[in-house]
Each structure stands twice: as C-alpha cells, then as structure tokens.
Structure 1
Amino acid sequence: MLRYFKLNVLPNLLYYLVKIIYATNKKVYHHPKNDGKPIIICMWHGDLMSQPYNYFNFRQNGVVKAMISHNKDGEIIAKLVSNFKIGAVRGSSSKGAAKVLISALKELKSGNDLAITPDGPRGPRYSVADGIVALAQKSDAKVVCFNAVPTKFWQFNSWDKFILPKPFGRIDFYISEPFDIKGIEIEEAKKIIKDKMLIHSMP
C-alpha cells in the first residue's frame, strides 16, 4: 500500500502542490536568445522542481527528456515530471551507464533537449559527475545552466538541500548562454560547468 501511494498518488499530489505554489509567485525570467538547437540542460538536484517552468518559458513547444536514475526516488521523479510533459531517459552512472549514454545521444540527435542533474542521484551537493561531460563531448549539443532563486522558500534537510518555493514570493529564473566543452580535459570541463552553475545557485 505504501509503495502504491509513493508511485501513484504522491507524484500527482506533488504536481498539484507545485502548480499552486508557482501560480502564486511572481516569475521573472533571465533568458538568452533561443536558437532552437538541441541543448544539454544542467541543473542541480536540489533545484529541479523549478526547472519545468524555466524550460517551458524558454521553449514553449520544446521537447525535453530528463536523465533519471533507476532508484526509488527516480520512479517518483519520473512520474512527477511526466505530468509536466517531460519524458525520461532512465539510468545512472552506476547502473547501465553506457546504455543510458547511447539513449541520451539519440535524443539529442533527434532534436530533443536533454536535462541532467550532475550532482544526482547521490551527491555530494554541487558536484559534477563525468556523465554530462561525456554527453557534451560526444554530441553536437552545447551545455546550458538552469537555476532558480526564490525569495521565500523551504529548504529540506536532505543531502541536496532541496528547495521548494513558498507561495506569494518572487522567483528569478536563470538560463546561461550555451557553451561548448569539446576538446577540454574532463576535470577542467567539470570545473567550467560547476563555476557557471554556481553563479545563481542557492546557498
């Protein structure tokens, strides 16, 4: 019964809760020009709840797939984001890494955008795993950083310090200019991504 609730009821409850919260907030978007080319969206695990609003303001008719792990939290997240019309590419660095990389590359090649949390699914917070670098260097897509900064919020005591905005505040949504990390050593590429992501990150 508990598993059924988590997988079939909880995602829908969270979806409507999020819809209500974001409807009551003033939303301010800081976006670059949209050139329509496929992008790799980089967002922190603790900030992922805000990003459907960020994305669909940027690309109203866009198609985006999120890389989501196979763990229990991943099941809930996959069902939740499907309510926002976001698809999923399932897998992680520890389970089926090569298969999920191939699936992600196919999505980009077909013209879809791909979203990834480089510090997920286990952290540490604000770390950058190798996967996003491999994806960017094996595809023609550039990386774009997504952040959201609410004026009023709850911050959970989880490893990712998960952020949920409170009602009746203001949320600033940020999207960086697309950038390329091809031909850059992996550790340097990870540092570039992290530095750009931290510009508008929550403390």
Structure 2
Amino acid sequence: MQVEMHPSVAIEKPAVYCFWHGTHFAPVMFVGKKIINKSAGLVSTSKDGEILATWLKHLGYEVIRGSSSKKAITGVVKLIQAVKDGYSVGIALDGPRGPIYEAKAGASFISAKTGVPLIPLGAAYSRKYQFDKSWDKFQIPLPFSTVGIYLGEPLYIEKNIDTSVSNDQIKHAIHAAQRQAAALL
C-alpha cells in the first residue's frame, strides 16, 4: 500500500474525509482505523446497512445510523456531534444512490457547522475488479495488487457559502486526489 498526503493534513485532528462511493473500500479498510485513530461512519438504516454496520464495528469504527433518505437529519446531527467529540468522519459524497461523481451537501454542511476541514481522499488499485453494472462502478482490489491512497489538501468551508459552490470545489478536489492516488501506482 502506498499512502501519501498533502503536508497540511493533520491526521490527529478531526476532519471530514470525502471520497466517491465506488472507491470506498480502500478508505474504509486502510484509512479509517489504520491511519486515523478515532473514526466514525454513517451507515444506512436499511437491512443491508446492518451488515455494513457490523463489519465497521468489528474494524473499530464508531457507527452512526442514518441516510440521505431515512432519518437524514438525525444522521447529520449525530455526525456533527461525533466530530465535536473528536472523531473524524468519512463520507461517500455521491452516495448512497448517485448520480456518480456528483457531490451532495452533507459533508459541506458538517464542515461548515463544526469548522473542521474537508479532506479529499483518492484511492486507486493496480489491479481491480469493477462492478460495471452498479451505479457507482464499485471497485475492489484484486489479491496482490497495490493500493494507492492520497489525502488531498484540506478545504475549509465557510458557514454561509452556497453549497453548489462548495460541492463543485470538493468534486474537483476528489478527482485531483484520485489522480494522485493513481500516480502512486
């Protein structure tokens, strides 16, 4: 595994780590508890989410249940509280149903409310399987492949910024982090 980060990234401080839904395998497996000590994640309240929640708890994450459709406000409030309690949170910006590579407002809102930075995260695999029929083109690394992870320059979101502006900034920053992660391979 190759991990690099922008010199301004302070992994010991709370932040909102942002990545694309289809690449969330690497951030969950390799960044959350291996690089960042205190991590929390939002997981759907669905039955499928229960499987993911169990897995994340096993990996040492604080699990927050909610989604963008059911209990959305409760999930965001709990994420804000987790950040205030010193946790970093990871958010797949285009999840849970897409469209692919279109950032949603949750991460910007959490960053603006808490004052913590958004950290764009890119992940790439030298060899991977991609689920082309899924909306997010979900990727998992094949055995013995190299994983590249890049934590990009922190973005600070102003409290009164238009979310379409911040979402556009985040979108470009994640794409740049994806390119950096691929360059590590």
TM-score in same-fold range (> 0.5): yes
Q: How many residues align?
A: 175
Q: Residue 45 of structure 2 corresponds to which residue in structure 1?
A: 70
Matched, 1:37 2:23: no
Other structure's SS at 1:201 match: helix
Q: What RMSD over aligned residues (CA atoms) do the two structures have, in Å?
A: 1.8
Q: Structure 1-normalised TM-score?
A: 0.80
Structure 1 pair 73–46 and aligned structure 2 pair: CA distance change class (3 A): farther
Matched, 1:168 2:168: no
Which consecutive residues of structure 1, in runs of 5 or more, have no partner in the other structure? 1-26
Q: Structure 2-normalised TM-score?
A: 0.87
Give every structure 1 segment of 4 or more consecutive aligned residues whose post-TM-superposition deviation is greater than 4 Å: none
Matched, 1:201 2:174: no
Structure of higher CA gyration radius: 1
Q: Residue 141 of structure 1 corresponds to which residue in structure 2?
A: 116
- Displacement after TM superposition at 1:161 (Å): 0.6
One-letter identity of the residue aligned with 1:91: G
Query: Residue by residue, what CA displacement relative to the aligned partner does 1:61-94 show, whole Å, maximum 9, x if unpaired?
Result: x111101111233222212222211121111122
Q: Residue 2 of structure 2 corresponds to which residue in structure 1?
A: 28
One-letter identity of the residue aligned with 2:176: I
Of the three residues 79, 83, 107, the one matched with 2:54 is: 79
Other structure's SS at 1:149 match: strand
- Displacement after TM superposition at 1:46 (Å): 1.1
Q: Do 1:31 and 1:58's aligned partners in 2 also have CA atoms closer than 8 Å? A: no
Q: Residue 161 of structure 2 corresponds to which residue in structure 1?
A: 184
Identity of aligned residues (%): 29
Query: Residue by residue, what CA displacement relative to the aligned partner does 1:95-154 show, whole Å, maximum 9, x if unpaired?
Result: 122221211111111111111111111111111112112111111211011221111000
Which consecutive residues of structure 2, in runs of 5 or more, have no partner in the other structure? none
One-letter identity of the residue aligned with 1:30: E
